[in-house]
Amino acid sequence: MALVTTKDMFAKAYDGGYAIGAFNVNNMEIVQGITEAAMDLNAPLILQVSKGARAYANHTYLMKLVEAAVEETGLPIALHLDHGDSFETCKSCIDGGFTSVMIDASSKPFAENIEITRKVVEYAHDKGVVVEAELGTLAGVEDEVNVSAEDSSYTKPEEVEEFVEKTGCDSLAIAIGTSHGAYKFKPGTKPQLRFDVLEEVSKRLPGFPIVLHGSSSVPQEFVEKINKFGGNMAGAVGVPEDQLRHAASLSVCKINIDSDLRLAMTASIREYMAEHPDHFDPRQYLKPARQAIKDMVAHKIVDVLGCNGKA
Ligand code: G3H
Ligand code: 13P
Ligand code: ZN
């Protein structure tokens, strides 16, 4: 089995009322934790790499780690560029073996977003690579782009048909109230995604795969563990998992999760180091950290995405 695109995955997910997890990878333990969970559950998988991940770990190292995971698991795995910020970044990933790229020109005016997305689509499709685009902006931080809550905006459903038609993109990320990072909603308020926007978009794009970014649920047990062992993540709040499950049963075919993996890994390492202050072999604390990622991903696959058994 070689790396695959998301085309078949999304067609089956759309019809089957489930979603594929897109998990961010930055090092070997993260790749292993995610892919071991997916293998145990026979789940299709998207591994995604941000510009920051490429700067941290190097394109070739990440590529080889993901190729190793494909070989070890035999699963259909797509390798995706998360939040490509320019044609050049997308081109570099397409030329470097990725099977899917996101061009995120969502902060640009509508016509400019169409123009740059169209250019990436032309290059990508020529090489058999699929493209995710975005309309509407999410609050939060990704690489050096920081979008404040006031500057974020929900996707306008009346724009989606023209956008998809003119760009030829293969999937569309929309803004319905999720945001990046661990601080998504004010503590004490009731988070509510805009399902009316999702429904309106889906009505206008029948059969077309929708993507949700910023979909970590920030489980409080991990926040509490981090706080217990010397951290401070007071006020961290995520998207309720029942709302993500509902989105997955509709037209949402890809759900992006990164912060929850960071939480699981960090909580595990903090706990381990607090309980073993004399240990200094990284394998000792990275082993339970990798297991914590595996457990988190298994939970997402079964309880949120519903893609277990679908590989
Ligand atoms: O959407 C952002 C992802 O969580 C990636 O984060 O840019 O810090 O690698 P990063
Ligand atoms: P979270 O920060 O909610 O995990 O979102 C990740 C994401 O959208 C990556 O593109
Ligand atoms: Zn994102």
Mean pLDDT value across residues 42-70: 98
Distances in whole angstroms, Cα of residue 29 to Cα of each of 12, 87, 119, 236: 29, 30, 35, 25
Query: What pLDDT sits at residue 138?
Result: 81
Please confirm, yes or no, whether 295 is among the known catalytic residues: no
Ligand 1 near 180 CB (within 6 A): yes
Query: What pLDDT sits at residue 148?
Result: 62
What is the pTM for the complete model shown?
0.96
Ligand 1 near 54 CB (within 6 A): no
Whether 133 shows a pLDDT value over 70: the answer reads yes
Catalytic annotation, pick one of 8, 15, 40, 82:
82
Q: Which residues of 276-303 are buried (b: 16+ CB within 10 A; e: fewer)?
A: eeeeeeeeebbeebbbbbbebbbbbbee
Ligand 1 near 132 CB (within 6 A): no
Ligand 1 near 202 CB (within 6 A): no
pLDDT tens profile 258-271 = 999 999 999 999 99
Ligand 1 near 143 CB (within 6 A): yes
Query: What pLDDT sits at residue 20?
Result: 98
* Nearest ligand, measured from the Cα of 217: 2
> Atom 3 in ligand 1: which residue has the minimum CA distance?
142
Query: What pLDDT sits at residue 141?
Result: 57
% of the chain beyond a pLDDT of 70: 95
Tell me the backbone φ, ψ of residue 233, rounded to 5 degrees: -125, 40
Most informative mutation of 180, 243, 244, 297 for ligand 2 (most atoms within 8 A of CB): 180
